[in-house]
Amino acid sequence: MSELQDFNQRVIREFRANQGRVSGQLANMPVLLLTMTGARSGRTLTTPLVYTTDGDRLVVIASFAGAPKHPAWYHNLLAHPDSELISCTLQSYRGTPVLLFLPA
C-alpha cells in the first residue's frame, strides 16, 4: 500500500469512528468521504476529500496537490458518475456530480 493510500485509510477509519471528525493535518477542515466505482477496476472505492461550499452545494477541487495530472478519483467520476458523498456533518448525498472545467 502506498503512503497516500495508507494515509487515506487512516482518515476514513477515523472519520467513521468519530462521527465525521478527524485529527492531524485535516483537523478542523471540512472532510467528506466520496464513494464511487473505480474506472478500471470496477470496484467500490472510497476516498477522503476536503471540500468547501457554494450555497448548498459541496465543492471539491481535483488538483492532486498541484500535480500536473488529475487524481484517480477524478477519472473514476468521469467513467462512473454515480457516487455517494458523506460530509463531516454526516449528511449523505447520492447522485451524479457536476464537473466544472476551469481554464488553465
- Domain with residue 30: its CATH number is 2.30.110.10
Q: Could you tell me if residue 100 is inside a domain? A: no
Cα 56 from Cα 42, distance rounded (Å) = 30
Q: Could you tell me if residue 104 is inside a domain? A: no
Owning domain of residue 10: 3-95
- For residue 7, what is its C-alpha cell? 494515509
Work out how many domains the chain is built from and give that number. 1
Q: What is the pTM of this model?
A: 0.85
Q: Could you tell me if residue 82 is inside a domain? A: yes
Q: Could you tell me if residue 56 is inside a domain? A: yes
Q: Could you tell me if residue 33 is inside a domain? A: yes
Who contacts 47 (Cβ-Cβ below 8 Å, separation ≥6)? 8, 12, 33, 34, 72, 73
Who contacts 19 (Cβ-Cβ below 8 Å, separation ≥6)? 90
Q: Could you tell me if residue 103 is inside a domain? A: no
Q: Could you tell me if residue 69 is inside a domain? A: yes
Per-residue confidence in pLDDT tens, the chain, 104 aa: 799 899 999 999 999 999 999 999 999 999 999 999 999 999 999 999 999 888 888 888 888 878 888 899 999 988 998 888 787 777 787 877 777 765 55
